[in-house]
Structure 1
């Protein structure tokens, strides 16, 4: 099912590249540019859930820099590629320290942008592939996290400072999970929903 959804997203992305961008005055509008980059500081707050009876997995919040690149097919439709990596401490509350793990979830969102004078709100949705690396097993001898495909929802707003620079506030909700294998024992595998909320504030550049 995930492969089908991924194929549909990619097909939609390439279909949008063929959209005719000849909107009235769009090329003369200083708030419109084909390419934009944003530089944010983000808070990534997981909302973990697991299938361990009588125990709860806790995953720490992380604060990191984030970069994204946005391409506009026309004045309203755009695709945004998000790049950031975060380190999270993991534990089973009151039971065990599971060390820490790094997450790298490159995400591609399709967006729709609105225009209201200097403000430009937008909404989006997309897909990500989360890579887990740099595991520290904590109290265990070994721990492994399976890479996984997930989905995202997004809402945000840009505020134009001038023709090139703008401020940005952005909120994303990720729906992702992983299979956790402790001590190289697949019989003890646990499915954990991470489902982080990402809140970012930063500055953007049009070019």
Structure 2
């Protein structure tokens, strides 16, 4: 994880040294499309059978829309959805597949761009997300019904925009989300308090309007 973050930073810095000046003014809209890798840092407390949770990673597209309130402060809405196949591990019943579920965690971040107008324009953000769990499918022999509660969480973000021309730019971005859910299995026979807390690493391109 640390090597990947370092590599992204070095690529962004090298591109920024050769890029023209990044300009951002109050009222600007920025739309970015990234490829993101979602890596959960999961843990769980599971009633009745004990154990922990294991959640697979996912790589998906992400769309975000930013609006500059001033030349250094922006608000950003982030949209992406992922599909996961969680497993309850090390339980009294062994490893128990929990089917599959999709997550939609729209996230609203406030960003500070301290070097707006420079060739390489980093930013830092913080905000909230609301995670919706849908398309839940319990297909195992042990788990015949499963339900995930929607929940609020928090986010931190760091990234950089490097301008290609006056409209287009390259983007690298890292986010940490704190999100969790209460899970009911087999109509409440088993309950779990699950923390997902993913790292989200993305690269892509954006356009200024």
C-alpha displacement at 1:138, in angstroms?
3.0
Please list every run of 5 or more consecutive structure 1 residues that lacks an aligned counterpart in the other structure: 1-28
For residues 101 and 84 of structure 2, what CA distance do their matches in structure 1 show? 6
1:129 and 2:130 aligned: yes
For residues 50 and 181 of structure 2, what CA distance do their matches in structure 1 show? 19
List per-residue Cα deviations over 1:37-60 (Å, max 9, x = no partner): 000000011111111375221000
1:168 and 2:171 aligned: yes
C-alpha displacement at 1:117, in angstroms?
2.6
C-alpha displacement at 1:30, in angstroms?
6.3
Please list every run of 5 or more consecutive structure 2 residues that lacks an aligned counterpart in the other structure: 1-20
1:112 and 2:144 aligned: no
For residues 160 and 22 of structure 2, what CA distance do their matches in structure 1 show? 17
Which aligned pairs between 1:1-207 and structure 2 lie closer than 5 A? 31-33=23-25, 34-52=28-46, 54-93=50-89, 94-115=94-115, 117-139=118-140, 140-185=143-188, 188-207=190-209
RMSD: 1.5
C-alpha displacement at 1:118, in angstroms?
1.6
For residues 148 and 178 of structure 1, what CA distance do their matches in structure 2 show? 6
Shift of the 30–61 alpha-carbon distance from structure 1 to 2, 3 Å rule, reads closer
For residues 134 and 154 of structure 1, what CA distance do their matches in structure 2 show? 28
For residues 162 and 22 of structure 2, what CA distance do their matches in structure 1 show? 13
Size of the aligned set, in residue pairs, is 178
Using CA pairs under 8 Å that are at least 6 residues apart, name the structure with larger relative contact order, 1 or 2.
2
TM-score, normalised by the number of residues in structure 2: 0.81
TM-score, normalised by the number of residues in structure 1: 0.82
Q: Secondary structure at the match of 2:23?
A: coil
